[in-house]
Amino acid sequence: MNAALATGTRLPTGQLRLRVGQRGGRGIATSQYHQGALRVIRPHYLDASGQVAYTIVNPGGGYLGGDVYDIDVQVQEGARLLLTTQSATKVYRTPGEPAVQHMHVQLSPGASLEYVPDQLIAYRGASYRQETVVELAADSSLVMCDVVTPGWSPDGEPFRYHEVRIRNEIHRDGRLLALDNLLIRPGDPDAPLSGMLFLEDYSHLGAMLVVDPRVDADLVRDIEDVLGSLDPDGQLGVSLLNRPGFALRALSRSTDTLNTMLHAAVDVLRARWFGQQPLKLRKG
């Protein structure tokens, strides 16, 4: 009998395991496994750099209350992975229990991960928790992006989801390097940082975390210069971490604008560090 059934423990709604290595100068999957409502479609290569790109697919079309998704990614020594999603992650009404996504990432020495998913859309009555733990080697490279946007509401009112939590825990060489905890509770009028107060009069939030030994103040200034003109009505902040890395937050009223901004920041890093062309994701 399945151990999870024997103990009464619910199986995850979807599980994904992906191990990426390098062969002949190109990234390849050395192991992959999926179960339930998660898949990856066949890999492709956006340019001649050898970086492999994988796309995560949720055949179920959206996250519901009580759903639990478990993603585990390992990038082996010297390999480079670009990970994205086929479409937006849609979180519908979640009565009783929130929808949850756990993600664990391990980057070996010299490994690189760019995680550039499509936006998270939280609809009326939705609660969502996303927890990501990353383990880095001293010379590995991490780029992670998130965009949060409210979904359509029947009464036309924005911010009708209950809660979105995004928690990123970054370790390097076994030591905690950064803890990034985002909590939005627009439905709680007593919360000091909720709804319109937390986002001022904006409706969409973009975030990026970068950890790489090549990050410095000059790079951060260059990114601020590139992004500053893309949304003159929005808000942008970029802060250096205590260790080589930075955190970016952007507020806007447009999903497309935030995706453009985050992709432009990724392009700066790709060009400077790897001599790559701008990011052009192929979804299908």
pTM of this structure:
0.90
First to last CA, the chain: 38
What's residue 250's pLDDT?
Answer: 94
The DSSP secondary-structure symbol of 63 reads B
Looking at residue 7, its pLDDT comes to: 34
| 105 contact partners, CB below 8 Å, separation of at least 6 | 72, 73, 74, 75, 113, 115, 132, 133, 134, 135, 142
Q: Is the Cβ–Cβ distance between 11 and 4 less than 8 Å?
A: yes
Selection from 210, 130, 127 nearest residue 170 by Cα: 210
Tens digit of each residue's pLDDT, the chain (284 residues) = 344 443 345 679 999 999 999 999 999 999 999 999 999 998 999 999 999 999 999 988 799 999 999 999 999 999 999 999 999 999 999 998 999 999 999 999 999 999 999 999 999 899 999 999 999 999 999 999 999 998 876 666 666 788 999 999 999 999 999 999 998 887 555 554 444 445 777 889 999 999 999 999 999 999 999 998 898 888 999 999 988 999 999 999 999 999 999 999 999 999 999 988 888 876 65
- The residue written with tokens 């999603």 in the block is 85
Per-residue pLDDT, 243: 82
Residues in contact with 134: Cβ distance below 8 Å, sequence separation at least 6, in sequence order: 104, 105, 106, 107, 142, 144, 168, 169, 170, 171, 211
DSSP 3-state assignment of 110? coil
